[in-house]
Structures are given as structure tokens and as C-alpha cells.
Amino acid sequence: MQLSAWFSILLLLTENVVGQVVGNSAPNKDRVSWEPLQMKYPDVAPRPTVAKEMVSFLKVANWPITLETTKLTDAQRRFGGLLGHSGDAGEALGWLCLYRRNPSDGWVLWLTSGEIDGESIGGVVWHRLNSEQKVDSRCKAVNAEQGIVTSPVRLRLDMTKLQVEQLLGKPSGRFHDTFMYLHQHQETVKDTTYTWDDSIDVVYRNGAVWAINVNLTISS
């Protein structure tokens, strides 16, 4: 599977920390873990039902990131911060954690790279903060306006379920509080057929989008 996303998140960055650390943070409702948010998924994924590819690439602080192409280490050089890592072999996951604190709330954004992605960024996890939550000190603080999806899917935090379905249609499936949108298509490049799998997963709280997970994978 390959996942791409067009997010335009206007970010003004402050700190400049470098390094790599193994993640070991435990979930806490009052504190956001340094490790990417884990959504709930069924053992068998639903059938892809979204007709068109949903995402293509994202921008952070006007810096373009092409999923499955831009390296996670390039993002670290651009923004600073620590690179995290957990798991081995097929369970391996790397990430860079960024967050924005507003007067009343905020958000956390992870750029992620799984084993199948090699060194490239393959996904984005983004979720809302409440005013009481603390963020792990290893996440990178940024000074930014609210991040929004600009093209081709204008998906953002705090949208209603109706607004999301006006953009994406009905979900391909649902598992607990996770609504899954899946697209798949094939293309032939230099006599080799590749399969594109891209997905957007949405979690709602109090009737509004609380978390978004975007992923893209290309396989032959």
C-alpha cells in the first residue's frame, strides 16, 4: 500500500533539536505519548470502496513532502526534533512528532515511516489536544496556524461527520470509533504493474473529527 496526502499546514518552527530515541511512552489520557496515536483496526481490512485516489502529498510550513519519496531524516533536518523508533522487522515504525499549542487546545502531528516505507515518510497521524493535556517533551513545539488539508481533500480536525462524508462519501468500513476510507488502483510503470493503496482513517469525539490517519503504500 502507498499513501500520499495533500496537507497544507502553515507552521512557524521554534526549537531545533536533533537525535534518535527508542519510544517507550505509555498511553495517558492527561498526557500525549511521544509515540504515534494507535487507532483500532479489524483483523481483516474492509474492501476499498473510494473510487478516486484521495491524497497526493502534503506541505508542512510550505515544505512539500511526497509520501513514499521524502525521507524522514529530511523532515528532521528541516524541522529539527527527535526521531523515534519502535518495533522490529514488519512491526518497525519511525516517526517525527510535532505539536501546536493554542490558547484553548491544539494538535499533535506525527510523520511516520513503517518498515514497508523504507526510509521514506509513508503516513501522517494528526489529532486534537485539549487544554489540560500535556505533550511529551520529545515532541517538537511549533508556532503555527491551524493545519488544514488543502488539496485534493480538504479534510481537517473539528469537521463534522456530515462534512467529512460530503468530501469522502460513505466510509469503506467502521471498527469501533475508527471510520475507514480505502482506495486501490493499479498502474503499469516500465512493464511492471504496481498497486496503489491509500487510506484515510477518521475518529470522532463529541461529534467532531478528533484524529486523522493518512497512509499510502505502493506494492508490485
DSSP per residue, 141-196: EEEEPPPB--SS----TT-BHHHHHHHH-S-SEEETTEEEEEEEEEEEETTEEEEE
Percent of the chain at pLDDT above 90? 39
Q: How confident is the model over 153-187, as pLDDT tens digits?
A: 788 889 999 999 999 999 999 999 999 999 998 88
Which of 78-87, 120-129, 136-145, 192-201 is predicted least confidently? 136-145
Would you list the domain boundaries of the chain? 2-25+34-219
Residue 24 — very low, low, confident or very high, per pLDDT cuts 50/70/90? very low
Within 8 A by CB and 6+ apart from 153, the residues are: 6, 54, 55, 167, 168, 200
- The pLDDT score that the predictor gives to residue 49 is 95
All 3 cell numbers of residue 64? 512539500
Q: Provide the whole-model pTM.
A: 0.82
Residue 99 — very low, low, confident or very high, per pLDDT cuts 50/70/90? confident
Return the beta strands (E) in 87-145 as ranges. 93-101, 106-114, 123-129, 134-135, 140-144
Q: What angle do CA 45, 48, 50 make, to 5 degrees?
A: 140
End-to-end C-alpha distance for the chain, whole angstroms: 10
Residues 37 and 124 sit within 8 Å (Cβ to Cβ): no
Where b means 16+ CB within 10 Å and e means fewer, 22-49 reads ebeeeeeeeebbbbbbebeeeeeebebe
All 3 cell numbers of residue 160? 463534522
Q: Measure the CA–CA gap between 142 and 107, rounded to whole angstroms.
A: 10
Residues 36 and 112 sit within 8 Å (Cβ to Cβ): yes
Q: Is the pLDDT of residue 127 over 80?
A: yes
**Average pLDDT of 82-94?**
88
**Average pLDDT of 129-155?**
73
Q: Measure the CA–CA gap between 179 and 172, rounded to whole angstroms.
A: 8
The secondary structure element, H or E, covering residue 86 is strand 83-86
